[in-house]
Amino acid sequence: MSSSVLSSISFSISDDESDEPVGKMKVQGRRKRKKQFLRSNRGFLDRALRLLARWWPLMIFIPAIVLLAFEASKLGRKQSETVKVEKQQLEGSQVQKTNLNRLDPTTRVVNGVREVCLKMLIEEDLNKLEFPDNVVHSSSVKSVTYKTDSGQYPVEGNTTMLRHQNGTARFNLFSGYQTLEEREDSFNVKNNAEVHCGFYSDVGGFKISDEDKQYMKDCKVVVCTCAFGGGDDLYQPIGMSEASLNKVCYVAFWDELTLAAQEAEGNTIGDDSMIGRWRIVVVRDLPFSDQRLNGKIPKMLGHRLFPQSRYSIWVDSKSQLRRDPLGVLEALLWRTSSVFAISEHGARSNLYDEAKAIVKKHKATPEEVDVQIKQYRYDGIPAYSRLHGKKALAEASIIVREHTPLTNLFACLWFNEVVRFTSRDQLSFPYVLRRLWIPNMNMFPVCTRRDLVNSIGHRHKVKPLEKLI
């Protein structure tokens, strides 16, 4: 065979060739089909991803708008509830106004028999009543000296340190800058105690005119109240005997805001500095921005404001005294051989429960209450409901006391606690009482307190005092 013929012959070589005889049909295997539901699921997922990529802004913003609307509705309901509460308080205040000038005795049932809560002497006996002789009460405290300014004001660095130590920035030139070491030492009772007790510096504030100071020096028995920040009205005392009208001073401390508010309502001070039975003492340059704390000065430091006074009766501005002051002294101090009388708390029994109630009612911030409670727990104050057989928690809207070294020291320590921590004096009272026990303490029942005063209630919440810096 020629080379031309060989070159024209080609062979086809393929991996696909089989060994089957030529002429037979090639049979191919059937391919497996993918299941339909897998393809449909993948298609659905693809579409979902495309929709998500296209509409994701709306999918974020719509829930946010719904959440915002929900929170707005909650806020609206809360405001509505607040308005409702304020309306109820206003209506309650209007009802309480009817308590004014009530003299009917408060009674209670004891062993099935109804009796008066406070047994007072009749007026004939009150007019014959004489002050008891000066009795030296058995106490380890013989005298109290009050710390005053040394002339060296704390520098900013030291002030910052004190704020960290004390947990508060309220110490100032009126209160003095009590350290924690000085606080602890003040509770170590000595014959001659030396403590911070307000009026630390001449430039510390709470300025009173010389004329008012002279009047206050002559008071032997004083009924005291105050209204700062334009808060409450002045309620005239009732139920007084002729003897009390002649022997008792009635002093109301106002600031310039209250003076302006009362004058706007037509309540002007006479030329004799009186409105009714009250001698009005206008205080200038209040030392604290917290008006509640300013109110603690006449409430707790009466022995410093009235240095010659032997007895004092504190009455909150929300109340009207309706019992004879000399009769109150006889019933709560002299008859029971007491030097300090204060009402038991009507709702709770220990300071830790009271702390929870104060936070719940928004009467102080959780943070400042927490600082105080942590300190009291650290100092080992238990949650007992009773102390020496008496209820541990007090309601301090009325305080009756004799000015003795022990009660004066107690009041100083109590004041220092409300400056250091919260202005809610119910929290600090049981703490101070546990650490400085007064054997002649009369914690009278709530029923007695209700008989002593007509409760009117506060007119409105007083705003913090804005001080110029």
Rounded Cα gap, residues 448 and 373, in angstroms: 30
Rounded Cα gap, residues 363 and 356, in angstroms: 10
Lookup result for tokens 């946010």: 64
Please tell me the predicted confidence (pLDDT) of residue 133.
84
Buried/exposed code over 85-100 (b: 16+ C-beta within 10 A; e: otherwise):
eeeeeeeeeeeeeebe
Indicate the pTM of the whole model: 0.77
pLDDT less than 70: residues of the chain: 1-42, 44, 56, 72-97, 150-169, 460-469
Residue 269, judged by CB atoms within 10 A of its CB (0-12, 13-18, 19+), counts as: middle
CA angle 201, 202, 208 (to 5 degrees): 125
Please tell me the predicted confidence (pLDDT) of residue 23.
44
Please tell me the predicted confidence (pLDDT) of residue 15.
42
Please tell me the predicted confidence (pLDDT) of residue 54.
74
- Are 237 and 323 spatial neighbours (Cβ–Cβ below 8 Å)? no
Please tell me the predicted confidence (pLDDT) of residue 33.
53
| 52-109 pLDDT per residue, tens | 777 767 777 777 777 777 776 666 555 554 444 455 444 444 445 578 999 999 999 9
Phi, psi of 14 (to 5 degrees): -145, 145
Rounded Cα gap, residues 105 and 97, in angstroms: 18
Alpha-carbon distances, residue 105 vs 123, 223, 239 (angstroms): 15, 21, 11
Please tell me the predicted confidence (pLDDT) of residue 166.
40
| 444-454 pLDDT per residue, tens | 999 999 999 99
Query: Do the strands 221-227 and 248-254 form a parallel or antiparallel pair, or are they unpaired?
Result: parallel
Name the strand (E) or helix (H) holding 347: none
Please tell me the predicted confidence (pLDDT) of residue 154.
44
Query: Do the strands 143-146 and 192-195 form a parallel or antiparallel pair, or are they unpaired?
Result: parallel
Please tell me the predicted confidence (pLDDT) of residue 176.
96
Name the strand (E) or helix (H) holding 133: none
